[in-house]
Amino acid sequence: MGKYLINKLISVITTLFILSIFIFGLTHVMAGDPAQAMLGSNADSTQIEALREEMGLNRPLVEQYVDWVSDAVRGDLGDSYFRHQSVTAALAERIGPSLILSFWSELIAVVLAIPLGIVAAKRKGEAADVAVSATAMLGMSMPSFLLGLLLILVFGVFLGILPVSGYVTIAKGGLLEHIRYLVLPCVTMGLIQSALILRITRSSFLDVLNTDYIKTAKAKGLKQKVILYKHVFRNAASTIVTILGQSFGSLLAGVAVLETMFNIPGMGQLIVDSVLKRDYPVIQGAILFISLIYIIINLIVDVSYGIIDPRIRIAGSAK
Amino acid sequence: MKKAKRILSVFLVAAMAATLTACGGGSSSGGSTTATTAGSSDETTSDTAAVTGDIPMGDELKVALNADPPTLDALMSTGAIVRDCNKYIFEGLFEMDENYQPQLQLAESYEANEDYTEYTFKLRSGVKFHNGKDMTSEDVVASLNRWLSLNNAVKSIITNGEQFEAVDDLTVKITLQAPCYLLPSVMAAPAQFPCIMPKEAVEGATTEGGIQEYIGTGPLKYVDWVQNQYLELEHYDEYQGPGYELTGEAGDKTINFEKVTLYFVTDATIRSAGIQSGEYDIVSNLNYDDVAMLSANPSVKLDKSLMGYTGIIMNKAEGTLGTNEKLREAITLALDCDEIMAAAYPADGYIDVTPSMMPEGSTWYTLAGTENINTKNMDAAKAALAEANYDGTPIKVVTNQTYPQHYNGTLVMVEQLKELGVEVDLQVVDWTTMLEYKRTQGTYDLYYMDYPAVTAPVSLRTISQTDEGWTTWPEFLELLTKVNAATSDEEAAAAWEECQAYLFGRFSFVPLGYSYYANATLDNIEGYHSISCQCIYGCYRAE
């Protein structure tokens, strides 16, 4: 396990370093810059150039990169040009809503997708399977913003029972208001995520149901519930956990379209806003941070394989 | 089983942690010597913010705006959204009335000498900032000198480093080396507005970040600002207006709510849904496609306010159009402004197709030189194209989809250019890239753009010499100095007429007209009317 972690750490550092060059290069290749975005469409060139100089944007790119990376290694991701705060503070502020949304969306997705996936696998070829599979296909095909708009129309405008956008913390509005503002975005994201999880659950279950050991279990006369939840589920779990990890990671990175639409101050909105404003330190810091999140999630998923399936052990830790 | 329980425990702890992280977390108008206030009321305005008559004081007014301000410092950005947000916090010595004329606001009066090289402003006494400090000349001098150093338009007319200075506690003066008749107009212009704030706030401003505190004299006080989310403001009970009825943005600014929250809702569909669901009391800049639907909704009232003027900017410095005036003429003759504007603003009543560069109703309005604008004469255009010896080089047209009106108007314009016989290279970019392209040679030949209404031609972006088409003709610049050096409304208007005639005579720019925002309020909001974008003064929630 120790050797595995060391190797993983080296791999993470290498990945982040290569990524840093890529991110820095991409952000600075984009036309436009933060001075322009700050001063607006009616600023003249003289003013823009003066602010560019003030922001240090006229320095050689290599010099800017070295400064940024050397600070980042020490944990200083720089200061936002627009937010009057450090990048770290901006990320800390935005990760909270993203965590909340991701968690509840993933929960909705799991609660819906896994039982339905199991049902579809159990009743393969029957009406239930067709209905569930078709719904999953629809969910995978439908753009998230379209579903979001439909839900807003029905529950926000026609029924008027839920707010159409915004985010309220518990401290500001109380628990009930906090939940009211979360319902539509979480249900939207949860439904979209559930489609893929359902299909993966169904196909994983089908793969395991066709194995010899399950046939043996059936032949032994074990109850179907025991077969399904003790044997099939355990063996199919690795694949499902993998997709759950990817799904949660993408939610945590911020579903930009939905966060912008529902006006939720999460990571997605932060990144979109920063890209539009060319807030270089935030773009760079946020992408590095999200990359780290993905790496950590993948690590957790890797470790979980060993817990789910004792036959799988991390390299170097086998008995 | 044990492992399953362990996993479940971890899961539940994560759920609790995720939930807990939710806990966390707004003289008179030009020319005369001694000016007085514009209105007729002589009543004191010691507490104009209090409930007047039977108008009830509401709890909270929720307003949805279409953009997210990059800053609340007017001098750090020319974006209209900045002034739309900070205008309730900060006031200036002058503000713009409904005829786009400057009116006294924090200044009680002003005097100018005969040749407009010396201005003396008398400040209103007893005006307090939101932090309780009395407004004095040192605050005004600090604020205005910062404005002189950062405002583009004023830098083009006050070019010799002149500064405001305090004469006494309530008197401020500036002595200019060249006449500047337009100074009050420029001081009332919304873009990069000269907000008056305490001297300490000015001194605390950084070059990169601007002001760090938001303390003004306006009817609302700053409470909290969460970027991309909202700006929270609260009623300022000590507000003192200038003592005359509100006209445009000038006069007594009454707020009939304890709290006002400006939400930044960038998606027009969500703003539309929000007003229908009652989540917002006022929304600005709706999709024109939603106007018909909302006008049929009994719980919603529609309103419109001036967005600004719109036109086609042509690159006159270089490129295919820069060296070929005949080609510019052909394009000008070919463009059907009505069609373009109808595509950009597809709702009845929200456009005013007029070729004047200054709004109707202002003293600068003129139709000089507009004979060749919107003629819809494709035959004449094609004849001009033939004379232009056009070699088929594609005309680079740049647009963006951040503002749908830009994109939609451009698409129709491109079709008209193709009908003329011109090859077009259309590039669609994001907004920040568009800003870069506007000031970079070689990136465009023409583009469609709209601009906020201005109080004086000197503030027009379409005559910039350093970008936006590069209007650098020496003859024009000489005519423009006459406008700045004028000493009366008539002289200035006549000089501007010559300028406009020259510009249009050389096919500098194709003015399309003026456009209006589509705004909406809930049916129970009374007294709402905006001159530009949105303006909540005087509105209230009826019982």
The mean pLDDT value of chain B amounts to 87
The DSSP 8-state label assigned to residue B511 in this structure reads E
**B267 to A48: CB separation less than 8 angstroms, yes or no:** no
Return the amino acid letter for B30: G
Angle at the Cα of B301 from the Cα atoms of B298 and B307, rounded to 5 degrees = 150
Q: Give the tens place of pLDDT for each residue, B161-206.
A: 899 999 999 999 999 988 888 899 889 988 889 999 999 999 999 8
**A46 to B68: CB separation less than 8 angstroms, yes or no:** no
Give mean pLDDT, residues B478-488. Answer: 86
User: Rounded to whole angstroms, how far apart are CA atoms B365 and B64?
Assistant: 33
Q: Which residue has the tokens 């003129």?
A: B366
Residue B540, CB-side half-sphere exposure with 13 Å CA sphere: 17
Residues 473-502 of B with CB under 8 A from A: none
Which residues in chain B have Cβ-Cβ distances shorter than 8 Å to A270?
228
Candidates B22, B267, B449; nearest CB to A100 = B22
Give mean pLDDT, residues B295-300. Answer: 95
CA dist B213 → A55, B76, B204, B222, B407 (Å): 21, 14, 8, 9, 37
**A38 to B76: CB separation less than 8 angstroms, yes or no:** yes
Give the pLDDT confidence score for residue B29 in this predicted structure. 32
Task: Report the 10 Å Cβ neighbour count for B59.
Answer: 8
Give the pLDDT confidence score for residue B49 in this predicted structure. 39
Give the pLDDT confidence score for residue A25 in this predicted structure. 92
Residues 6+ apart with CB under 8 A from B401: B407, B428, B430
User: Quick one: which of B456, B463, B496 has its CA closest to B185?
Assistant: B456
State the smallest CA–CA distance between residue A293 and chain B in angstroms: 16
**A261 to B270: CB separation less than 8 angstroms, yes or no:** yes
Give mean pLDDT, residues B396-409. Answer: 93
Task: Report the 10 Å Cβ neighbour count for B12.
Answer: 10
Residue A273 lies in a domain: yes
User: Rounded to whole angstroms, how far apart are CA atoms A49 and B398?
Assistant: 22
Q: Give the tens place of pLDDT for each residue, B410-427.
A: 999 999 999 999 999 999
Residue A220 lies in a domain: yes
Q: Is the pLDDT of residue B134 over 60?
A: yes
Give the pLDDT confidence score for residue B532 in this predicted structure. 65
Q: What are phi and psi of B47, to 5 degrees?
A: -145, 60
**A39 to B431: CB separation less than 8 angstroms, yes or no:** no
User: Rounded to whole angstroms, how far apart are CA atoms A235 and A226?
Assistant: 13
Which residues in chain A have Cβ-Cβ distances shorter than 8 Å to B150?
47
Give the pLDDT confidence score for residue B53 in this predicted structure. 62
Q: What are phi and psi of A86, to 5 degrees?
A: -75, 165
Q: Is the pLDDT of residue A317 over 70?
A: no
Candidates B21, B191, B432; nearest CB to A99 = B21
CB A163 within 8 A of CB B282: no
Give the pLDDT confidence score for residue B533 in this predicted structure. 59
Quote ipTM for the complex: 0.83
CB B509 within 8 A of CB B309: no
Give mean pLDDT, residues B446-459. Answer: 86
Residue A81 lies in a domain: no
User: Quick one: which of B128, B113, B123 has its CA closest to B93?
Assistant: B123
Residue of B nearest to A39 (CA): B77
Residue of B nearest to A171 (CA): B23
User: Percent of chain A, pLDDT > 70?
Assistant: 97
CATH of the domain at A221: 1.10.3720.10
State the smallest CA–CA distance between residue A127 and chain B in angstroms: 33
Q: Is the pLDDT of residue B35 over 50?
A: no
Give the pLDDT confidence score for residue B6 in this predicted structure. 52
Q: Does A307 touch chain B (CB under 8 A)?
A: yes
What are the DSSP calls for B208-234, one per residue? TTB-S----SSSEEEEEEETTTEEEEE
Dihedral sign, Cα of residue B405, residue B407, residue B412, residue B413: positive
Lowest mean pLDDT of A102-111, A113-122, A163-172, B26-35, name the range: B26-35
Q: Give the tens place of pLDDT for each residue, A225-273.
A: 888 777 788 888 888 888 888 888 888 776 788 888 899 999 989 999 9
Which residues in chain B have Cβ-Cβ distances shorter than 8 Å to A99?
18, 21
Residues 234-293 of B with CB under 8 A from A: 263-267, 269-270, 273-274, 276-279
State the SS3 of chain A: CHHHHHHHHHHHHHHHHHHHHHHHHHHHHCCCCHHHHHHCCCCCHHHHHHHHHHHCCCCCHHHHHHHHHHHHHCCCCCECCCCCCEHHHHHHHHHHHHHHHHHHHHHHHHHHHHHHHHHHHHCCCCHHHHHHHHHHHHHHHCCHHHHHHHHHHHHHHHCCCCCCCCCCCHHHHHHHHHHHHHHHHHHHHHHHHHHHHHHHHHHHHHHHHCCHHHHHHHHHCCCHHHHHHHHHHHHHHHHHHHHHHHHHHHHHCCCHHHHHHHCCCCHHHHHHHHHHHCCHHHHHHHHHHHHHHHHHHHHHHHHHHHHHCCCCCCCCCCC
User: Rounded to whole angstroms, how far apart are CA atoms B194 and B147?
Assistant: 6
Give mean pLDDT, residues A190-194. Answer: 92
Residue A128 lies in a domain: yes
Give the pLDDT confidence score for residue A242 in this predicted structure. 87
**A277 to B70: CB separation less than 8 angstroms, yes or no:** yes
**B22 to A51: CB separation less than 8 angstroms, yes or no:** no
Return the amino acid letter for A177: E
Q: Give the tens place of pLDDT for each residue, B318-360.
A: 888 998 999 999 999 999 999 999 999 998 889 999 888 888 8
Task: Report the 10 Å Cβ neighbour count for B63.
Answer: 23
Give the pLDDT confidence score for residue B254 in this predicted structure. 93
Query: Counting one residue from A and one from B, how many pairs have CB atoms under 8 Å apart?
Result: 167
Q: Is the pLDDT of residue B458 over 90?
A: no
**A103 to B22: CB separation less than 8 angstroms, yes or no:** no
Residue A58 lies in a domain: no
- H or E stretch at B448: strand B446-452
User: Quick one: which of B455, B532, B40, B52 has its CA closest to B251?
Assistant: B40
**A84 to B212: CB separation less than 8 angstroms, yes or no:** yes
Q: Does B209 touch chain A (CB under 8 A)?
A: yes
Q: Does B207 touch chain A (CB under 8 A)?
A: yes
State the smallest CA–CA distance between residue A102 and chain B in angstroms: 9
User: Quick one: which of B496, B498, B542 has its CA closest to B522?
Assistant: B542
Q: Is the pLDDT of residue B408 over 70?
A: yes
Residues 410-469 of B with CB under 8 A from A: 429-439, 449, 451-452, 461, 464, 466-467
Report residue B310 as tokens.
Answer: 């719109």
User: Quick one: which of B90, B111, B96, B118 has its CA closest to B36?
Assistant: B111
Residue of B nearest to A51 (CA): B208
Task: Report the 10 Å Cβ neighbour count for A103.
Answer: 20
Residue B415, CB-side half-sphere exposure with 13 Å CA sphere: 10
Give the pLDDT confidence score for residue B19 in this predicted structure. 43
Candidates B79, B228, B433; nearest CB to A265 = B228
Give mean pLDDT, residues A128-139. Answer: 88
Report the number of distinct structural domains present in chain A: 1
State the smallest CA–CA distance between residue A265 and chain B in angstroms: 7
CB B230 within 8 A of CB B261: yes
Q: Is the pLDDT of residue B393 over 90?
A: yes
Q: Is the pLDDT of residue B295 over 80?
A: yes
**A164 to B208: CB separation less than 8 angstroms, yes or no:** no
Q: Give the tens place of pLDDT for each residue, B2-15.
A: 544 554 444 444 44
Which residues in chain A have Cβ-Cβ distances shorter than 8 Å to B19?
100, 103
Q: Does A159 touch chain B (CB under 8 A)?
A: no
Give the pLDDT confidence score for residue B279 in this predicted structure. 94
Kindly indicate the confidence band of residue B151, based on its pLDDT and cuts at 50, 70 and 90: confident
Give mean pLDDT, residues B252-268. Answer: 95
Quick one: CA torsion of B337, B341, B347, B353, rounded to 10 degrees? -50
Give the pLDDT confidence score for residue B306 in this predicted structure. 84
Give the pLDDT confidence score for residue B246 in this predicted structure. 92
Lowest mean pLDDT of A120-124, B14-18, B130-134, B183-187, name the range: B14-18
Distance from the Cα of residue A203 to its chain's centroid: 23
Q: Does A47 touch chain B (CB under 8 A)?
A: yes
CB B396 within 8 A of CB B313: no
User: Rounded to whole angstroms, how far apart are CA atoms B417 and B420?
Assistant: 5
CB B524 within 8 A of CB B298: no
Give the pLDDT confidence score for residue A49 in this predicted structure. 86
- H or E stretch at B52: none
Residue span of the structural domain in which A97 resides: 93-278+295-309
Report residue A228 as tokens.
Answer: 């399904």
What are the DSSP calls for B299-330, one per residue? TEEEEEEEEEEEEEEE--SSHHHHT-HHHHHH
Lowest mean pLDDT of A126-130, B42-46, B397-401, B492-496, name the range: B42-46
Give the pLDDT confidence score for residue B65 in this predicted structure. 93
Task: Report the 10 Å Cβ neighbour count for A130.
Answer: 13
Angle at the Cα of B420 from the Cα atoms of B419 and B421, rounded to 5 degrees = 90
Q: Give the tens place of pLDDT for each residue, A22-72.
A: 999 999 988 888 888 888 777 777 778 888 888 888 899 999 999 999 999
Please give the model's pTM, rounded to 2 decimal places. Answer: 0.85
**B265 to A276: CB separation less than 8 angstroms, yes or no:** no
CB A193 within 8 A of CB A104: no
Residues 6+ apart with CB under 8 A from A76: A86, A88
Q: Which of B72, B208, B222, B406 to mutate to test the interface with A (most CBs of A within 10 A)?
A: B208
User: Rounded to whole angstroms, how far apart are CA atoms B430 and B414?
Assistant: 19
Q: Which residues pair with B257 in a beta bridge?
A: B58
The DSSP 8-state label assigned to residue B459 in this structure reads G
**B432 to A278: CB separation less than 8 angstroms, yes or no:** yes
3-state secondary structure at position B399:
strand
CB B259 within 8 A of CB B234: yes
Residue A255 lies in a domain: yes
Residue A152 lies in a domain: yes
CB B53 within 8 A of CB B125: no
Give mean pLDDT, residues A111-127. Answer: 90
**B208 to A172: CB separation less than 8 angstroms, yes or no:** no
Strand duo B300-314 + B446-452: pairing = antiparallel
State the smallest CA–CA distance between residue B23 and chain A in angstroms: 5
Residues 137-156 of A with CB under 8 A from B: 149, 152-153, 156
- Order of strands across the sheet with B118-123? B107-112, B118-123, B171-175, B164-168
Give mean pLDDT, residues A119-133. Answer: 89
**A164 to B431: CB separation less than 8 angstroms, yes or no:** no
The mean pLDDT value of chain A amounts to 87
CA dist B287 → A175, B83, B318, B410, B531 (Å): 34, 22, 36, 17, 19
Kindly indicate the confidence band of residue B368, based on its pLDDT and cuts at 50, 70 and 90: very high
State the smallest CA–CA distance between residue A97 and chain B in angstroms: 7
CB B220 within 8 A of CB B235: yes
**A156 to B273: CB separation less than 8 angstroms, yes or no:** yes
Which residues in chain A have Cβ-Cβ distances shorter than 8 Å to B209?
84
Which residues in chain A have Cβ-Cβ distances shorter than 8 Å to B3?
307
Residue A43 lies in a domain: no
Q: Is the pLDDT of residue A164 over 90?
A: yes
**B279 to A100: CB separation less than 8 angstroms, yes or no:** no
Candidates B77, B269, B430; nearest CB to A276 = B430
Q: What are phi and psi of A85, to 5 degrees?
A: -155, 165
Q: Which residue has the tokens 């007047």?
A: B52
Kindly indicate the confidence band of residue A15, based on its pLDDT and cuts at 50, 70 and 90: confident
Residues 6+ apart with CB under 8 A from B137: B123, B166, B167, B168, B169, B170, B171, B172
User: Percent of chain A, pLDDT > 90?
Assistant: 39
Give the pLDDT confidence score for residue B32 in this predicted structure. 34
Q: Does A257 touch chain B (CB under 8 A)?
A: no
Which residues in chain A have Cβ-Cβ distances shorter than 8 Å to B263?
166, 263
CA dist A278 → A30, A139, B107, B140, B506 (Å): 8, 34, 39, 34, 37
Candidates B71, B279, B431; nearest CB to A38 = B71
Give the pLDDT confidence score for residue B481 in this predicted structure. 86
